[in-house]
Amino acid sequence: MWNHTRITELFGIKYPVLQGPMGGGFSTPELLAAVSNAGGLGSLGAYTLIPEQILETNKIIKTKTDKPYNINLWISDVDESLTDYPVESLQKVKALFKPYYDELGIPLPDLDIKIPSKFLKQVEVLFEIRPKVFSFIFGIPSKEILDECHRLGIKTVGAATTLDEALALEEANVDAIVAAGFEAGGHRPSFLKPANESLTGTFSLIQQLKAKIKTPIIAAGGIADGKGIAAALTLGADAVQLGTAFLVTDESNATPLHKAKLFSEETKYTVLSKSLTGRMGRMIRNRISEEIKFETPVLPFPLQTRLIGPLREAAMAQGKTDMINFWSGQNAVNLKYTKTDELMTALILETDQILNR
């Protein structure tokens, strides 16, 4: 049976279908629970949450599902270049974005470059919660953290955008590896080379990893239906991870406007840009991504996000949608389901029909 894989056995789930973690407030306990209750693996993107918020959210999750689920964190949640970041560089980038602020009639924000990492404190809470799965991006946790996860029975999942990153993750003895193709929406989680030098497609990356590593592989990027699941499994993946298909559901915390954009013709035009957050990610093209090219210096992450925050809020209030960042994968043309349970049912049925013909 197609749904019996190394990943379903490892995680204790019925189907090798994972919900992308979608940090930044997009994933919710309701979405996580709906996926897990349907036999997949629901996820919570928790990198922006302080430890107390993770604990409170986990309490809510426990009231909605008793199935396995994943909590996702960012190992590198603050760019190293933010340390001693030059004031003149900050002012130069603020001047670059001032015309957008002026157009919206709002002042540029005061920004503090001192932004501490949350990761180590978040991990302490993770050990307390003990989710079935701990996934992470932008690097590899220390051996001490991984050893403690294994001791506590927490399965560890790292993300690789290249074969070299997958080899490094396997060397670190993680339990599974996400093959993160460049078609995926959201941030590119590269960590050995810059993201713009790590642009392998999902189906090529699956085959590269399958040929060189023994660790179970989770395919992510450009998969939105049963055909994509069947193709990924046929190429050697042990599971798939979908993001954009879950982002449009009622259970996700994306705004109604964001969901409407994902059902529109605009999803034909996605771009890889760092202009709105400071790190490369795939989004529906907008004015800022078009006018401020990738080569243009912007602030390090997450300072650039803090610069854009007030701009986004004002643009939303004033209906200036061409200044707003709407994350999207490359394959959003056939999205149709707005209920997570209906989406899961359709994914399983279509995959079953293809692979059990």
| pLDDT tens for each residue of 211-250 | 999 999 999 999 999 999 999 999 999 999 999 999 999 9
How far, CA to CA in Å, does 330 sit from each of 64, 186, 266, 307? Answer: 32, 11, 11, 27
Q: Do 303 and 259 form a contact (C-beta atoms < 8 A)?
A: no
**pLDDT score of 320 more than 90:** yes
Indicate whether 225 belongs to any domain: yes
Strands 281-284 and 186-187: antiparallel
Instruction: Tell me the one-letter amino acid at 216.
Output: P
Query: Domain limits at 129?
Result: 6-78+115-254+337-352
> What's the total number of domains in the chain?
1
Q: Would you state the structure tokens that stand for residue 230, as one six-digit string?
A: 């069947």
Helix, strand, coil content of the chain in percent (nearest 5) = 45, 15, 40
> Tens of pLDDT along 145-204?
999 999 999 999 999 999 999 999 999 999 999 999 999 999 999 999 999 999 999 999
Average pLDDT over residues 262-275: 96
Rounded CA-CA distance 318/324 in Å is 11
What pLDDT was estimated at residue 266? 95
**pLDDT score of 357 more than 80:** no
Q: Do 234 and 257 form a contact (C-beta atoms < 8 A)?
A: no
SS3 state at 17: strand
Indicate whether 100 belongs to any domain: no
- For residue 348, the surrounding DSSP H or E stretch is helix 340-355
Rounded CA-CA distance 269/259 in Å is 15
What pLDDT was estimated at residue 141? 98
Q: What is the CATH number of the domain that holds 210?
A: 3.20.20.70
> Tens of pLDDT along 109-133?
999 999 999 999 999 999 999 999 9
Indicate whether 289 belongs to any domain: no
Indicate whether 287 belongs to any domain: no
**pLDDT score of 15 more than 90:** yes
Q: Do 193 and 216 form a contact (C-beta atoms < 8 A)?
A: no
Q: Do 220 and 181 form a contact (C-beta atoms < 8 A)?
A: yes
Q: Do 186 and 308 form a contact (C-beta atoms < 8 A)?
A: no
Average pLDDT over residues 94-112: 97
Indicate whether 275 belongs to any domain: no
Mean residue pLDDT of the chain comes to 97
Indicate whether 292 belongs to any domain: no
Q: Do 338 and 262 form a contact (C-beta atoms < 8 A)?
A: no
Average pLDDT over residues 276-281: 97
How far, CA to CA in Å, does 299 sit from each of 311, 328, 339? Answer: 15, 22, 37
pLDDT category of residue 334 using cuts at 50, 70 and 90: confident
> Tens of pLDDT along 29-86?
999 999 999 999 999 999 999 999 999 999 999 999 999 999 999 999 999 999 999 9
**Helices 340-355 and 226-234 meet at what angle, rounded to 10?**
50
From the number of C-beta atoms within 10 Å of its C-beta (0-12, 13-18, 19+), residue 320 rates as: middle
Indicate whether 319 belongs to any domain: no
How far, CA to CA in Å, does 175 sit from each of 2, 154, 218? Answer: 20, 9, 11
**pLDDT score of 88 more than 80:** yes
Torsional sign, CA 333, 336, 341, 342:
negative
Indicate whether 300 belongs to any domain: no
Q: Which residues have a Cβ under 8 Å from the Cβ of 257 and sit 6 or more positions away?
A: 316, 321, 324, 326
Return the closest-CA partner of residue 134 out of 159, 163, 112, 107: 159
* Residues listed for the chain: 357
**pLDDT score of 253 more than 90:** yes
Query: Torsion over CA of 327, 126, 218 and 248, rounded to 10 degrees?
Result: -30
Return the closest-CA partner of residue 134 out of 60, 205, 74, 189: 74
Cis check for the bond before 99: say yes or no (omega within 30 of 0): no
SS3 state at 244: helix
Q: Do 296 and 97 form a contact (C-beta atoms < 8 A)?
A: no
Q: Hey, which residues does 159 pair with through a beta bridge?
A: 178
